[in-house]
Amino acid sequence: MPTESPAAVRLEGVVQRARLLSLLRGFFAERNVLELETPVLSSAGNSDPGINQFQTRCGRWLRTSPEYAIKRLLADGLGDCYELGRVFRAGEAGSWHNPEFTMLEWYRVGWNYTDLMAEVAELVNDCGDAFGKQWQVKTVSYRDWFRDAIDLDPLVAKRQDLLNAIDHFGIALQGATDFDRDALLDVLVSHEIQPSMDPHTLTLVSLYPASQAALAQLHAADNRLAERFEVFVGPVELANGYQELTDAVQQRERFEEENQKRRDAGLTPVPLDEHLLAALETGLPRCTGVALGVDRLLAALTGSSDIRQCLALPWALA
């Protein structure tokens, strides 16, 4: 049988994307969650040393997420809201990454992160119904995820234990001996745990180590843990969510720690978002938020193993 031309595949992706965007907006309209738009350009950067950001000639940064801007509006009293738009991250372009991509980010005021985990699963399977796809939903703690998959406790394992595990699984990684503990955990996730995940399962992993808290609250009963979760459709990471940190002092400390990590890695530190920190000082309500990759969701819904088939014009053709 003749195969479809690349142009035909792209056009089909355009049609299916329009269908998905309509479904997403309908999901939130039914729940009275407000859609908004925030600036794509910002005077502040993303201090996360694992994220590379585009900087324009005028000195502004292309956003890697609408998170900081949305939180400022939440501090103003906006309430439940979402944004569906373009974000930018310099770096890899390939089967699962594009430097310009579509992100869905939403926030629920007064909710617990476990409530939001359930809503993410509901959203994904509601979209799946329309596309003839369904996933079994599995929830697991980060700790049990490791213990079940590779018989290793990520909370107590020493750095050498992680190096030994990487060697045991035959993971060839240049420079691994220089990686910090969290980087080694990430290697085990991406090279050993994720590839073995059931493609028919939507897995929600919660309670990450406190060292990977990012913008999440620490767990009240165990400060070794962060109230953070990630969502995987099969082996592919789809979403990342938090019980949002509301303490301005802690948030500044975390930003400064990340900038120091950037310096240690030979990267340029970025200006902190003082507008966000001021909003946190004013008072961010108790809330939970999540960011979901729309291109990856569309790939999962259409059975594609390459998001380039779901983009009108991928990076190489843009």
The pLDDT tens digits of the residues spanning 64-107 come to: 999 999 999 999 999 999 999 999 999 888 899 999 999 999 99
Is residue 304 within 8 Å of 236, Cβ to Cβ? no
The answer to whether residue 29 scores a pLDDT higher than 60 is yes
pLDDT (average), residues 283-297: 97
Residue 295, pLDDT score:
97
pLDDT attached to residue 3: 67
58: in domain = yes
**Confidence at residue 2, expressed as pLDDT on a 0 to 100 scale:** 55
90 — phi, psi (to 5°)?
A: -70, 140
Residue 168 within a domain: no
The answer as to whether 164 is a domain residue is: no
Domain assignment present for residue 145? The answer is no
Give the start-end residues of each E strand in 37-149.
41-42, 61-62, 81-88, 100-109, 136-141
Domain span holding position 55: 6-135+200-317
Count of the separate structural domains present in the chain: 1
**Any domain includes 180:** no
Rounded to whole angstroms, how far apart are CA atoms 7 and 25?
27
Tell me the pLDDT tens digit for each residue of 207-262: 999 999 889 999 999 999 999 999 999 999 999 999 999 999 999 999 999 999 99
Domain assignment present for residue 129? The answer is yes
pLDDT at 90: 92
Contacts with 303 (C-beta within 8 Å, 6 or more apart), sequence order? 133
pLDDT tens for residues 114-135? 999 999 999 999 999 999 999 9
Confidence class of residue 5 from pLDDT cuts 50, 70 and 90?
confident
Average confidence (pLDDT) over 2-14: 79
Q: What is the pLDDT of residues 123-177, one digit of tens each?
A: 999 999 999 999 999 999 999 999 999 999 999 999 999 999 999 999 988 776 7
Domain membership of residue 230 (yes or no) is yes
Q: Which of 82, 77, 67 is nearest to 36 (CA)?
A: 82
Q: How confident is the model at residue 181 (pLDDT cuts 50, 70, 90)?
A: very high
Establish if 189 belongs to a structural domain.
no
For residue 296, the domain's CATH number is 3.30.930.10
